[in-house]
Structure formats: C-alpha cells, structure tokens
Structure 1
Amino acid sequence: MDPDVRVHIWKITETEEALAKGISLTPHCQERYEGMKSELHRRGFLSIRHLMALEGYTDHDLYYDTLGKPHLRDGSYISITHSYNFTGIIVSNHIPAGIDIEKQREKILKIAHKFTPVSEYNPIKDPIQLRRKLTVVWCGKESLYKINSTVGLSFLKNIDIRDFGLDQLRTTGLIHLNGNTSFFDIHFLEFEGSTCAFALQLRSDASEEYLIPNKKTDP
C-alpha cells in the first residue's frame, strides 16, 4: 500500500472518563458529543480523537462539510468509522480514501438486495460464508461512498464491487454517476466477528486494472 496512506483501528475497552483525558473538542464536536445518548457512541467518538493524535492531529484540525463528511485543514484526506466496540480512521496525504467497519450480522442477508445484485451470490450455499462476503461488499461500498458522498448516489445502481475471494483481502470497485466513472482499490480484513474495508481512489485511466479478473477461491 502507498506509504502516504495510514490505517488505524481501535478496540474500545477504556472507560469514557479515561478516554476523555487529554482530549479537547471544538464547540461543534463538543455539542455533538454531549448530544450522544449512547455511552458506547461517546466512547467511540473520543477514541477516534486518540487515533487522530497518532497522526499528529487534534479535533481542531478537523472540520465537517454540509453532508457531514470529515476533512483535515491541512488538505490531507481522512475518513472515520465506528461500529460497536471498534473505531478506525484512514489518513492519506494525496489520495482520496474511505474506510468502514461493520459487525458481521445475520441482518445483512435480509437487506442485501438493497445494495447489491443478490443473484451473483447464489452459488454460495454456506450462510456464514455468504454473510462474510456480503459484509465485505457493504463495507467496500460504504468506503467508496465516503470518498464520493454525492447526493443521490445509490449503492445498488451506482457502485459496483468486483468479485473476489475472501482469502484475497483485496478487490477493486467503481462509481458510475452522471456519465463519469471513478475506480478504486479496496483492501479488507476480518477480526473478532467484524469486517473492515478501506478504499483508495485510482487514477482516471485505471479501467484496465479494474477489468483484470480476480482469481477466486470461493465457490
């Protein structure tokens, strides 16, 4: 992976009081923090600020646009994710990047038709394997959406993830919207019943890379 791209993942085990130590929030983020009813959400919010500190940033280096997308004031790219007891960030000096973590849940089998053509996964008969694969697809699409959070962008109609084997830990994806196509490199990993995917935007002429077939090992 590009050395100018860094990924950090935090497992939340600390108390809210411990996580709050040494953290200074902007008025906007302080208001968001105080409005969170869930303690786990507050702990996740604070843990992300510790992850930012690993990159030399404070909350004051961060701002959000009108769609709620985070940005760094120095022009580097950042994406943030929180799922249950895990949080994560990706920071990229030059390449647009996105990250998502999701818990692997049975629910994804019921909602898959809303974000991907489910007929493509009919050959997978093992429900656990299907759940794992669909979670990668969801995380991949979510990470692409975080890069290009355009109003009207549809996971089902506008974002495509190229097929992959679960042992590959990598695939590619594209966003096709308003006659324009963008290509992305996607990495994924699984841990403690969760899935993380992070995406990096490829150069504009990367269509040939996207079309190279993956070597699959899944049925």
Structure 2
Amino acid sequence: MALAYHKEIDPYTSFAIWKIEESADELLAQLQLKEHERTYLDSLVNGKRNMHWLSTRVLLRRMMDTDEYIDCRVDSSGKPYLSNFPHYISLSHSYEYAAVMVSKNKAVGIDIELIKDKIERIASKFMSAEELEFIEEKQRIEHLYVCWCAKEAVYKLHGKKNVSFVENIELKPFHYEGKGSFPAKLDVGSTHKEFTVHYEKFDEYMIGFVSDDTNEE
C-alpha cells in the first residue's frame, strides 16, 4: 500500500489517500480483527468490496499510529465510528484508492470518486435546478463531481439517513478551478448548519472534504 497523498487540515485534523496495491491477504495481515469483523468480512463477496473494506481499515491504522486494537464500527445509519478512541473519522474509496479522514475534535466527512462522464446522466438527481445553473460548460464533468463529492462529504459528516441531496444540502455558486472551497448548507429536521467544503482534483479522481468547525471541543 503506497501513500499517495496526505493533507493536514489543522493540528487535529488530516486525511490521507492510499493506492491499493496489495492482495487481500497482505492487507489482512496488517490488521487486528475481532470475531465480529472477520464474520462481516467473510460475508463480503471477494473483489472490490472486500478490498475497499480492508484498505480503509489499514489506512485508518496507519493514520492513528497506534499498536492498540482499533474498534471501528458503524452505527444504525451506517456511519463509521471508533468505540475505543475519541477521534472522529470518515472513510471513502473508489476503484484503486482508499481515503480516510481523522479528527481529534470535530466531525468530518470525505468522499473520493473516479471522474466519469456518466455523472451527467444523474446530475438532476443530486443537484437542484438553481445549482445546475452555475455549472460551467467548459469543465462540466469535473464541476459536477465536485458537487457530488461535496454533498456526499456533508452527508457523511451528518451521518443520518434522512437527507436528500437535492432538498437538504445546498451548495453556493462557485467557479471550478481544480482545487478550492465554497459554502454549503445542511438543512434537515432540527439541524441547520453551514460549512466550508473543500475540493481537490487528484489524478483522475475528485476529492471533497469537510469538517464541522462549530463542533470543535
């Protein structure tokens, strides 16, 4: 597993991208798994799902820099959390890359996606009509992927299933520049929060990441 990219957001928050190059057995050898984790792993079909699960856990162990067992679980909404460490985490993967974001003091969200033309076909399913108006034709596909990654990152930070990308997550207009940030708003139920979402193009992938700065401890 080769570290492809590491970014420190602040003294307490960072994310890393890894290129998945090992076999499943090589990844498994780097983990300390309990019976419930092995049972879940055995339930996955060998292939991408298996490799992505293993690679995000290996990367998480590297980022935590500990020899202790890391109890990474998911809650009833599917959000990953650590039961024996106070850190906030977010996991993502796409094809040959795994991404992990970790913070000691605030909720985080990250998403990585391989850029493909197919996003054009589903744009209206995650973008409002007003948001579609600011998409630039010259780099339309990349611009749409930033929006998808941004909304996915906010969704992961929130960690609840009752969120519509179209109705509950609003992106403010921004120009696509390959790397940058812009405001976003989450409005669902009793939650009304504003965020600054960051994005970067990495190789042929797009990365979107966000942290809840109002939640700093």
The alignment's TM-score, normalised by the length of structure 1, stands at 0.84
Distance (Å, rounded) in 2 between the aligned partners of 1:175 and 1:110: 24
Distance (Å, rounded) in 2 between the aligned partners of 1:135 and 1:48: 22
Could you tell me which runs of 5 or more consecutive residues in structure 2 were left unpaired when the two chains were aligned.
Answer: 1-8
Q: 1:70 aligns with which of 68, 72, 80?
A: 80
Q: 1:139 aligns with which of 111, 128, 149?
A: 149
Once the two structures are superposed, residues 125-155 of structure 1 have per-residue CA deviations (whole angstroms, 9 ceiling, x without a partner) of 33xx111111110111011111112232110
Indicate if the aligned counterparts of 1:121 and 1:130 stay in contact, CA closer than 8 A: no
Question: Are residue 89 (structure 1) and residue 100 (structure 2) matched?
Answer: yes
The alignment's TM-score, normalised by the length of structure 2, stands at 0.85
Q: 2:38 aligns with which of 30, 42, 60?
A: 30
Q: Which amino acid aligns with 1:144?
A: V
Identity %: 29
Q: Which residue of 2 aligns with 1:165?
A: 175
Distance (Å, rounded) in 2 between the aligned partners of 1:117 and 1:13: 38
Q: Which residue of 1 aligns with 2:6?
A: none
1:107-126 mapped onto 2 (5 Å cutoff): 107-118=118-129, 120-122=131-133, 124-126=136-138
Distance (Å, rounded) in 2 between the aligned partners of 1:39 and 1:19: 13
Question: Are residue 56 (structure 1) and residue 35 (structure 2) matched?
Answer: no
Measure how far apart 1:119 and its partner are: 5.3
Superposed CA RMSD in Å reads: 2.0
Structure with the largest fraction of strand: 2
Measure how far apart 1:42 and its partner are: 1.6
Q: Which amino acid aligns with 1:91?
A: V
Measure how far apart 1:203 and its partner are: 2.3
Question: Are residue 181 (structure 1) and residue 189 (structure 2) matched?
Answer: no
Distance (Å, rounded) in 1 between the aligned partners of 2:130 and 2:173: 13
Q: Number of matched residues? A: 202
Distance (Å, rounded) in 1 between the aligned partners of 2:20 and 2:71: 23
Q: Which residue of 2 aligns with 1:13?
A: 21
Indicate if the aligned counterparts of 1:183 and 1:202 stay in contact, CA closer than 8 A: no
Distance (Å, rounded) in 1 between the aligned partners of 2:46 and 2:200: 27
Question: Are residue 193 (structure 1) and residue 204 (structure 2) matched?
Answer: yes
Indicate if the aligned counterparts of 2:136 and 2:176 stay in contact, CA closer than 8 A: no
3-state SS of 2:10 partner: coil
